[in-house]
Chains A and B, each alone.
Chain A
Amino acid sequence: MDLIIVLQAGVATGTVLLFATIGEILAERSGVMNLGVEGMMLIGAMSAFSTTIATGNPWLGVLVAMLFAGLISQIHAFITITLQADQVVSGLALTFLSTGISLVLGEGLSKAGTVSLMPVFSIPVLSQIPILGPIFFTRHSILVYFGYILVPLSWYYINRTRPGMHLRAVGEYPAAADALGINVFRMRYLYVFVGGVMAGLAGATISLAVSPGWFSELTTAGQGWIAVGLVIFAQWDPVRAAVGSYAFGALRRLILDIQGPTMLFGFANPFYYNPYWGFFLQMLPYAFTVIVLVIGSREAMRKRIGAPAALGVPYIRGERGL
């Protein structure tokens, strides 16, 4: 087991989490929590893969995945922003709905065989850097490189631009934004859409780059839920989201790869001889998600870690305060 190879694969796996987490950060910064990330990722993975099979063009696959998932997210936007329903309930329903749609439309896709994937290449010069080069800049999909650019871009957008300032205001105190002529409803629809698009991109990254193919609901295997947990872990900050995403990606790979070799650090590998121990390891990221979500749902803790103040609260015009 070569650690460099594990980490290199971990960066690719982490890119999936990164896209989904940043998308959800943008939606939550506007005040809308969308628990449908898992479902939207499945929609993305399925539509990316089937479009590529039909057309042979993976770029078109990624585009369709983003649009389809973005479209699905607007159901959640309509229910929670216009109809002002509970965001948790609507988000869960969206996951069930999107999972169902993906399984129906994806029926038979798993037997489709190989398709052309997104281009893979190494970055000249940068890939020569010891240790970091092979991990971050060698034989990665173009989507992984896009992830590197997205992190500073989204941080800058949120913290240093006018639309980003409006986004933060809408999520913190929508009444104040509304009083100054910012259209709270339009902003929230927009960022829920962006969240959906990013979840779709995350799904496409799985089926066209990281672990190509369609394996029904095992394609995402709960990564959407981990992304929801990572948003809280990252305290709604894209840079922390990147750290968390790549760390979790590496952890996922490590858990898979640690069960391979017979020897580990000169000792008999317990995970090789007791395959059931592996299941325990595989559970850990999800256990982490549960713990983070429980902590993050406590009102006092949410205020301390800087959750957007209006997160989860439908905006009703004319009501005083939040």
Chain B
Amino acid sequence: MAQPNLPNNPDPSPAQPPFVVEMRGIVKRFPGVLANDHVDFELRPGEIHALLGENGAGKSTLMNVLAGLYRQDSGVIKINGVPVTFSSPRDAINAGIGMIHQHFMLVPSQTVTENILLGLDNPRFILNLSRYDSKIAELGKQFGLEVDPRAKIWQLSVGEQQRVEILKMLYRGANVLIMDEPTAVLAPQEIEGLFSILRSMTAQGKSIIFISHKLNEITAIADRVTVLRRGKVTAAGQPARGLTRQQLANLMVGRDVIFNLEKKPVQRGEVVLDIQDVHADNDKGLPALRGVSINVCAGEIVGLAGVAGNGQRELSQVITGLRKCKQGRIYLNGETVSNRSVIFGIQRGMAYIPEDRTHVGTAPNLSVTDNVIMRKYRQSPISQYGLLNMPLAVKYANELKQAYDIIVPHVSTPVRLLSGGNLQRVILAREISGQPQFMVAVQPTRGLDVGAIEGVHRLLLAQREAGAAILLISEELEELLSLSDRIYVIYEGKIMGEVKIEPGEPDPGLIETIGLMMTGTPLEQIEQQGVRVHG
């Protein structure tokens, strides 16, 4: 896009500068990486400007520079036309720029008001919270951010917590809000709610920078889009209307990306995993699963949808033997696997793609070789007379490196040095090479870029075609809809219902049904109330 010619700029109000934020030629270098390479970025008053890019494209770096967390090596930041230098987040907030992080920065044991007042000079010493409660309730009403100021953070839903984060910034007089992947933790209805809040804020003159990698959201909410690839701008402030997902993905990745991978029809086989009325507790000793019954058959991918923290993690742990099952049973090919050891499941063909790649999925300081033989080191040929045959293990690791496209200089490299996508390929290589009969994959694409996601999806579909039974636990509804044959929805440890997924574009009524189940309405109730149901 051409540089705007300032004197001829058709500005509706000449007293106001055309841009609230103007970043020119921002360069930020980290050891060995050029994170931002002469990046320009402009934010108009009252717009929602999406910042798009793969992981490592430099969008977080750019926004951290704007929020005062990093200092640019060169380049200028202008706020309302005035050049500024930020040396701390506080400076940025004082200049009216507030960043809302993906992981909420809220103290769970404190109230909404306390969290909002944290770090401010007013009140000076004695906390008369009731006076501030009403002030905050009023501010919330103004922007449609209703939340009880006296509630403790832990009592609030994720969507409400996000509202508190926004309020925190508005209370500090923020004029520009940077939102880092704000929809990642929300259910579909909550996303709609967030979007209407964002619109009401821009209507009142606030400007919003919306960092995302979900292409459909960008086309839905953003006025303009800036795309970064490898630290450089590939699209500067293009109007979002009229851009297709395909075009955006191309700008992001630099090549065409296939969204809807072809899902070949596979004959569904026998039930492989049968979960019957399983109850389990979470780490705090509170019930996390309350009577979950689901099954997965050979040659199908079964999705488990739900907002984070509704028992998905605990369910994957109970299946793999990492967590005790208090009541109920889990059968793998008719054999009880619940409350058995982890190795018991592995020996019977169970594979596990855990949510936490760096601590559960791999041993970060061990080499690629050590990590890929973790399922096999007990058996011949890698184990010989109780000793490890290392030359063979290295050869095996090199084979996997080739077959799964793991980009690493040498298999002796510790896996902590690998990127997210490569690390996930190491785990997939290890788990799939055992020809599993059943696989539980938890958030297998979280934090991966579009290209890497495509690779993971291809591997999962290949396993399905090979006749494996796959339980896919994910918070990305889009991913579940494109891969699964059936979807169960979990809410507070209970299954709300099951829907079949037909090939082709998903019906909006179906998405709405899943969304309602994700927020706690059982399927029967939705059907009774006559909401259109698909499948």
Q: Which of A166, A175, A309 lies in contact with B108, CB distance below 8 A?
A: A309
Contact of A304 with B by CB under 8 A = yes
In the complex, the answer to whether B107 meets A172 with C-beta atoms within 8 Å is yes
Docked Cα-Cα span, A182 to B119, in Å, equals 6
| Neighbouring B residues of A177 by C-beta, 8 Å | 107, 118-119
A173-B108, A300-B283 are known contacts. Are A320 and B103 too (CB-CB below 8 A)?
yes
Interface string of A171-195 (1 = CB under 8 A from B): 0110111011110000000000000
Within 8 A of A (CB), among B102-133: 103, 105-110, 114-115, 117-120, 123-127
In the complex, the answer to whether B105 meets A172 with C-beta atoms within 8 Å is no
Contact of A162 with B by CB under 8 A = yes
In the complex, the answer to whether B125 meets A161 with C-beta atoms within 8 Å is yes
In the complex, the answer to whether A303 meets B284 with C-beta atoms within 8 Å is yes
Contact of A2 with B by CB under 8 A = no
Pair count A-B, CB < 8 A: 73
| Neighbouring B residues of A181 by C-beta, 8 Å | 88-90, 93, 119
Q: Which of A165, A304, A309 lies in contact with B117, CB distance below 8 A?
A: A165
Interface size class of A (residues with CB under 8 A): 20 to 34
| Neighbouring A residues of B88 by C-beta, 8 Å | 181
Q: Which of A160, A163, A304, A309 lies in contact with B109, CB distance below 8 A?
A: A309
In the complex, the answer to whether A161 meets B127 with C-beta atoms within 8 Å is yes
In the complex, the answer to whether B103 meets A321 with C-beta atoms within 8 Å is yes
Contact of B101 with A by CB under 8 A = yes
Contact of B334 with A by CB under 8 A = no
Contact of B285 with A by CB under 8 A = yes
In the complex, the answer to whether A173 meets B105 with C-beta atoms within 8 Å is yes
| Neighbouring A residues of B109 by C-beta, 8 Å | 168, 172, 306, 309
Within 8 A of A (CB), among B204-256: none
In the complex, the answer to whether B283 meets A299 with C-beta atoms within 8 Å is yes
In the complex, the answer to whether A165 meets B285 with C-beta atoms within 8 Å is no
In the complex, the answer to whether A160 meets B105 with C-beta atoms within 8 Å is no
Contact of A20 with B by CB under 8 A = no
In the complex, the answer to whether A165 meets B118 with C-beta atoms within 8 Å is yes
| Neighbouring B residues of A299 by C-beta, 8 Å | 283
A161-B125, A177-B118, A300-B284 are known contacts. Are A169 and B89 too (CB-CB below 8 A)?
no
Within 8 A of B (CB), among A150-170: 160-166, 168-169
In the complex, the answer to whether B127 meets A165 with C-beta atoms within 8 Å is yes
| Neighbouring B residues of A165 by C-beta, 8 Å | 110, 114, 117-118, 127
In the complex, the answer to whether B118 meets A169 with C-beta atoms within 8 Å is yes
Min C-beta distance of B123 to chain A, whole Å: 6
| Neighbouring A residues of B119 by C-beta, 8 Å | 166, 177, 180-182
In the complex, the answer to whether A169 meets B103 with C-beta atoms within 8 Å is no
| Neighbouring A residues of B110 by C-beta, 8 Å | 165, 168-169, 172
Interface string of B71-112 (1 = CB under 8 A from A): 000000000000000001110010000000101011111100
Within 8 A of B (CB), among A99-131: none
Min C-beta distance of B427 to chain A, whole Å: 21
Min C-beta distance of B447 to chain A, whole Å: 11
Docked Cα-Cα span, A168 to B106, in Å, equals 12
| Neighbouring A residues of B106 by C-beta, 8 Å | 173, 176
A172-B107, A172-B110, A300-B285 are known contacts. Are A162 and B125 too (CB-CB below 8 A)?
yes
Docked Cα-Cα span, A28 to B432, in Å, equals 46
| Neighbouring A residues of B115 by C-beta, 8 Å | 176
Max chain A C-beta neighbours (<10 A), residue from B114, B115, B119, B127: B119
Min C-beta distance of B46 to chain A, whole Å: 26
| Neighbouring B residues of A164 by C-beta, 8 Å | 127
Docked Cα-Cα span, A132 to B107, in Å, equals 41
Docked Cα-Cα span, A161 to B283, in Å, equals 33
With both beta carbons as reference points, the residue of chain A lying nearest to B126 in the complex is identified as A161
A182-B118, A300-B284 are known contacts. Are A176 and B125 too (CB-CB below 8 A)?
no
| Neighbouring A residues of B89 by C-beta, 8 Å | 179-181
In the complex, the answer to whether A179 meets B101 with C-beta atoms within 8 Å is yes
Within 8 A of B (CB), among A270-311: 299-300, 303-304, 306, 309
Docked Cα-Cα span, A320 to B60, in Å, equals 14
| Neighbouring B residues of A309 by C-beta, 8 Å | 108-109
| Neighbouring A residues of B283 by C-beta, 8 Å | 299-300, 303
Docked Cα-Cα span, A164 to B118, in Å, equals 11
Min C-beta distance of A183 to chain B, whole Å: 10
| Neighbouring B residues of A175 by C-beta, 8 Å | 105
In the complex, the answer to whether B107 meets A180 with C-beta atoms within 8 Å is no
| Neighbouring B residues of A168 by C-beta, 8 Å | 107, 109-110
Q: Which of A169, A176, A304, A320 lies in contact with B285, CB distance below 8 A?
A: A304
Docked Cα-Cα span, A104 to B424, in Å, equals 58
With both beta carbons as reference points, the residue of chain B lying nearest to A157 in the complex is identified as B125
Max chain B C-beta neighbours (<10 A), residue from A161, A173, A309, A320: A173
Min C-beta distance of A169 to chain B, whole Å: 5
| Neighbouring A residues of B125 by C-beta, 8 Å | 161-163
| Neighbouring B residues of A179 by C-beta, 8 Å | 89, 101, 105
| Neighbouring A residues of B105 by C-beta, 8 Å | 173, 175-176, 179-180
With both beta carbons as reference points, the residue of chain A lying nearest to B285 in the complex is identified as A300
| Neighbouring A residues of B90 by C-beta, 8 Å | 181
Docked Cα-Cα span, A300 to B110, in Å, equals 20
Q: Which of A160, A162, A172, A303 lies in contact with B124, CB distance below 8 A?
A: A162
Closest 5 CB pairs of A and B: A180-B119, A176-B105, A181-B90, A173-B107, A179-B105
24 chain-A/chain-B pairs, Cβ below 8 angstroms: A160-B127, A161-B125, A161-B126, A161-B127, A162-B117, A162-B126, A162-B127, A164-B127, A165-B127, A166-B118, A168-B110, A169-B107, A169-B114, A175-B105, A176-B115, A179-B101, A180-B89, A181-B88, A181-B89, A300-B283, A300-B285, A306-B109, A309-B108, A321-B103
Given A168-B107, A176-B115, output 15 extra A-B contacts at Cβ < 8 Å: A160-B127, A162-B123, A162-B125, A164-B127, A168-B110, A169-B107, A169-B110, A172-B110, A175-B105, A177-B107, A180-B105, A182-B119, A299-B283, A300-B285, A321-B103
